[in-house]
Amino acid sequence: MSGEFMKDKRGLILGVANRRSIAWGIAQTLAQEGAQLAFAYQGDRLKEGVEELAKTLPAVSPLYSCDVSSDEEIQKLKESLEKDFGRLDFLVHSIAFARKEELAGRTVDTSRDGFRVALEISSYSLIALTKALEPLMEKEGASVVALTYLGSEKAVPHYNVMGLAKASLESSIRYLAVDLGRKNIRVNGISAGPVSTLAARGISGFQSMLDDHKRRAPLGRNVEIEEIANAALFLLSPLASGITGEILFVDCGYRHVVDIPQTP
Ligand code: NAP
């Protein structure tokens, strides 16, 4: 796809770790459609890699360091964006984190601090970012999209505390949509099928998730990042102007299938 769906739109993308990140797939699609992008990455470790990727985009893209667990860093991000962009038309939240030991074994063994960290970074960060950036988004209205996963509503082996965090994220999406609708700020989620990324490989047995998805999904395959990016483009663009508080599944239909072994 190549057109001008996002011409004159300015947005912030959080969650590019490398070229395999879902956020990077979304960034490429939005850039192809004429969007001007800014990126926020977590700390210096990622700076060079994100810089290299951003250089491949047609427009110059400002980069900011922001650890979403810090209110001060979020506030600094808001001030930089205000200076560089003036307003914000969209926000992509593609961030999640849980300690590796929480993504194996049983959910009942989740530690208090592991719970806090997973929910703070993977869910509360959407609220904190939306609140800080509200003054920039209310100028002309805006669209917010966050990435989620089926583990929010089904008990997926080893997804554990991240499932709890995604349930909280999806609920936040609905509450934020209600709070911000009158300012024409829409808030939606994309529930993506499994994709082999850095974060995903931290889940114990992730390859089995990919294999099962391919076997059971009505479309008989795993989802491509471009398909997730196209859904993000839709939700962020004026094409979705009447949609808010929704979770859009991009999972090749996987969630609809109940797998009952048949006796011959
Ligand atoms: P990814 O490339 O590893 O991206 C995750 C991003 O979150 C990284 O850029 C990571 O930075 C960032 N992050 C973690 N803690 C942070 C913090 N404190 N402050 C700022 N950024 C932080 O993995 P991904 O699969 O594309 O994940 C993107 C989103 O898609 C996540 O919300 C994930 O849950 C969701 N999702 C993924 C799948 C899948 O199968 N891959 C399926 C459905 C939904 P660091 O590398 O520095 O930690």
**pLDDT confidence of residue 249:** 98
With a CB cutoff of 8 Å and minimum separation 6, the contacts of 257 are 216, 217, 218
**pLDDT confidence of residue 263:** 79
Partner residues linked to 188 by β-bridges: 145
Ligand 1 in contact with 121 (CB < 6 A)? yes
**pLDDT confidence of residue 2:** 61
Whose CA is closest to atom 15 on ligand 1? 97
Centroid of ligand 1 to alpha carbon of 15 (angstroms): 5
Instruction: Clarify whether 159 is annotated catalytic.
Output: yes
**pLDDT confidence of residue 132:** 98
- Average the pLDDT over 100-122 and give the result: 97
Lowest mean pLDDT among 70-74, 164-168, 197-201: 197-201
**pLDDT confidence of residue 211:** 95
Mutate to test the pocket of ligand 1, among 16, 26, 29, 42 (most ligand atoms within 8 A of CB): 42
Cα dihedral 75/111/188/221 (nearest 10): 130
Task: Report strand pairing: 90-93 vs 142-148.
Answer: parallel
**pLDDT confidence of residue 234:** 98
- Average the pLDDT over 32-40 and give the result: 97
**pLDDT confidence of residue 101:** 94
Q: Per-residue confidence at 15, pLDDT binned at 50, 70, 90?
A: very high
Which domains are present in the chain? 10-256 (3.40.50.720)
pTM to 2 decimal places: 0.97
Is pLDDT above 90 for 60?
A: no
CB 39 within 8 A of CB 61: yes
Instruction: Clarify whether 175 is annotated catalytic.
Output: no
Centroid of ligand 1 to alpha carbon of 102 (angstroms): 16
- Average the pLDDT over 95-105 and give the result: 95
**pLDDT confidence of residue 44:** 84
Centroid of ligand 1 to alpha carbon of 262 (angstroms): 38
Ligand 1 in contact with 199 (CB < 6 A)? yes
- Average model confidence (pLDDT) for the chain? 96
* Alpha helices by DSSP H, the chain: 22-32, 47-55, 71-84, 112-119, 125-137, 160-180, 206-216, 225-236
Give the residue with greater pLDDT, 76 vs 204: 76
**pLDDT confidence of residue 1:** 58
> What is the dihedral sign for C-alpha 19, 22, 27, 32?
positive
Of 41, 64, 124, 159, the catalytic one is 159
**pLDDT confidence of residue 261:** 78
Distance CA 207, CA 80 (A): 40
**pLDDT confidence of residue 43:** 86
Task: Give the Cβ contact number of residue 208 at 10 Å.
Answer: 13
Write out the DSSP string of 175-226: HHHHHHGGGTEEEEEEEEPP---TTGGGSTTHHHHHHHHHHHSTTSSPPPHH
CB 183 within 8 A of CB 137: yes
- Average the pLDDT over 147-176 and give the result: 97
- Average the pLDDT over 21-31 and give the result: 98
